Chain A
Amino acid sequence: MPDKIPADSVGLVTPSHLHIDSPLSLDCGRSLPSYDLTYETYGELNDDASNAVLICHALSGDHHAAGFHSLDDKKPGWWDSAIGPGKAIDTNHLYVVCMNNLGGCKGSTGPTSINPETGKTYGPDFPIVTVMDWVNSQTVLSDHLNIKQWAAVIGGSLGAMQAMQWAISLPERLRHVLIIAAAPKLSAQNIAFNEVARTAIKSDTNFHEGHYTDHDTLPRQGLGLARMLGHITYLSDEAMGEKFGRELRNETINYGYDVEFQIESYLRYQSSNFVEHFDANTYLLMTKALDYFDPAKEFNDDLTATVASITAQSLVVSFTSDWRFSPARSQEIVDALLSAGKDVTYAEIEAHQGHDAFLMPIPRYIDIMKTYMQKVIAESEIR
């Protein structure tokens, strides 16, 4: 935690909880009889509820997008660089909502929750949810908050896929969509990385077919490996080189297998930290939601036909060094929007941080997003 809360922070925030007692049908054919949604809001909803913005989180994200939970927090929410008073997503004017996705492990119902039908934790029996299921559950929250139409739905990476799905499936419920560091579907290489991550988790001897909590243990080794792999793919060669190079922890090499290079130490630290507060079953489920996302499938793989329903104006942003979801993938989305004649702006931001660039305060990126959001604000204020 900084000594004092910065002026452009949303400050101390508290998550809200919503319990839903009616069932939610899922793409997989199963349904959740009841469920909890955990979310945070920043800023004030205006009288006609025209200034609400939904933030969708990515694989390891959650509802805590900005501000601090307590003065002891080491770090603010995951997108504090973009959300706050005077920031790109300006909470002086906007009412910002961010929800932990179903299947998550930070408050919304997921594998670590109690299954009301058995009285035991769901664990691996939690149904695999899809991007569309998330959008449907976010709709339930929108209704609860009396938000008929979002001024904008915004997301990066897996979050951008939810934003896209909103625009495609519920066009009347949003005016703008911000699709950042996205892809219209995963490539074989993307799925391959996810499969390596899942294999790492499932082959951990402490995994116990997903029932690790019953055995009072955690598949730390496997989840840690999955996180290491993920981390490598979220960064670029250049970013890693700049941060760590071939720097050694001690001055000499030891001709052994202990941690010697700084990058090894960093990966081990990151992953050991991660495994203590992220659920392995959630990780498996999130990677599956990524793999399955393919909105064009219902439209004979015609992405132009897929986006034909969109009425929202779009801002699409990609980053030059992102090789997980490269600019060419965003270009596919943009090309479809163009050939469908939609209102779209597209920027490819020069950045060396790889896929993670979407979380960084890169001046050109923030400037473009902020200018775009000022237009969104101006529109919502004259409504």
Chain B
Amino acid sequence: MSLRLDLQIISDWIPDGSRVLDLGCDNGQLLHHLQNRGVSGYGLEIDNSKFADCIKSGVNVIQADLDQGLPQFADQSFDYVILSQTLQAIKRPDFLLEEIVRVGKQAIIGFPNFGHWQCRLQLALGGHMPRSRSLPNAWFDTPNIHLCTVQDFDNLCTRDNIDVLRRSIVNHAHKDTLGTRLLPNLFGQIALYQIKKKPQ
């Protein structure tokens, strides 16, 4: 099983032997992949349809609703908390983000960039809510209720005293191009951030 592209990048960012909490872990492929490098931890997932896959790959999976935050975990109890392609489906992303940087010494957040030029063009000229390969749903049935742009996310991090340690803004194939480097909010489709809470 080859690792989803965004998870490959995330995996490269995680040092061997880390303690990791994977939010929205799906079939557990990231944690399974990381186990070979001595990484341990838990996956949280609201939908138990792929729990058998997690169990098969030896991943500790916990059914949990991320909208409730992470009250079961102590402050700074993980080296990394990971949330990829899920932030936009959360009821209060600001609350969850606060929880993530509380529980994790560092965190890695991945989300689709709504500031991509195609999204802008669809809304500006097409006059309809943008749809794309990474955001295929119509406005009325989409689980993605809190879409944001790279700029929006930067602003939230500033507001909430979160340091951005590393950032990768790439196209759909997870490659960086001249465009994504120069004007990431215009040309990037997928954003990955490595963040941590600023020391008080």
Contacts and interface: CB of A to CB of B under 8 A. Distances in A.
Interface of A: 315, 331, 334-335, 338-339, 343-349, 364, 367-368, 371-372, 374-375
* Chain B CB within 10 A, most for which of A315, A338, A343, A349: A338
B73 interface: yes
Interface in B118-142: none
Interface of B: 42, 48-49, 51-52, 54-56, 58, 60-64, 71-74, 77
B48 A368 contact: yes
Q: Which 6 A-B pairs have the closest CB atoms?
A: A335-B72, A371-B52, A371-B55, A346-B62, A347-B48, A348-B63
Nearest to B52: A371
Contacts of B51: 345, 347, 368, 371
A90 to B, nearest CB: 15
13 contacts: A331-B72, A344-B42, A345-B55, A345-B61, A346-B61, A346-B63, A346-B64, A367-B52, A368-B48, A368-B51, A371-B55, A371-B56, A374-B56
A331 B48 CA distance: 15
Given A338-B73, A339-B73, A348 B58 contact: no
B60 A368 contact: no
A348 B48 contact: yes
Given A334-B72, A338-B42, A339-B74, A349 B58 contact: no
A325 B77 CA distance: 29
A59 to B, nearest CB: 26
Contact of B62 (A334, A349, A368): A334
The majority secondary structure among interface residues of chain A is helix
Nearest to B41: A341
Contacts of B54: 345
Contacts of A339: 72-74, 77
B198 to A, nearest CB: 26
B60 A349 contact: no
Contacts of A345: 51, 54-55, 60-62
Given A345-B61, A348-B63, A349-B48, A375 B72 contact: no
A375 B62 contact: no
A372 B71 CA distance: 27
B114 to A, nearest CB: 32
Nearest to A331: B72
B100 to A, nearest CB: 16
Nearest to B53: A371
B48 A344 contact: no
Nearest to B71: A335
Contact of B60 (A335, A344, A367, A371): A344
B55 A368 contact: yes
Given A348-B48, A368-B48, A338 B62 contact: yes
Contacts of A343: 60
A238 to B, nearest CB: 20
B30 to A, nearest CB: 16
Nearest to A374: B56
Contacts of B63: 346-348
Contacts of B60: 343-345
Given A344-B62, A371-B52, A371-B56, 17 more contacts: A331-B72, A335-B72, A338-B42, A339-B73, A339-B74, A339-B77, A343-B60, A344-B42, A345-B54, A345-B61, A346-B62, A347-B48, A368-B52, A371-B55, A375-B55, A375-B56, A375-B58
Given A345-B62, A375-B58, A364 B48 contact: yes
Nearest to B72: A335
Contacts of B71: 335
A338 to B, nearest CB: 5
B182 to A, nearest CB: 44
A383 to B, nearest CB: 16
Nearest to B42: A338
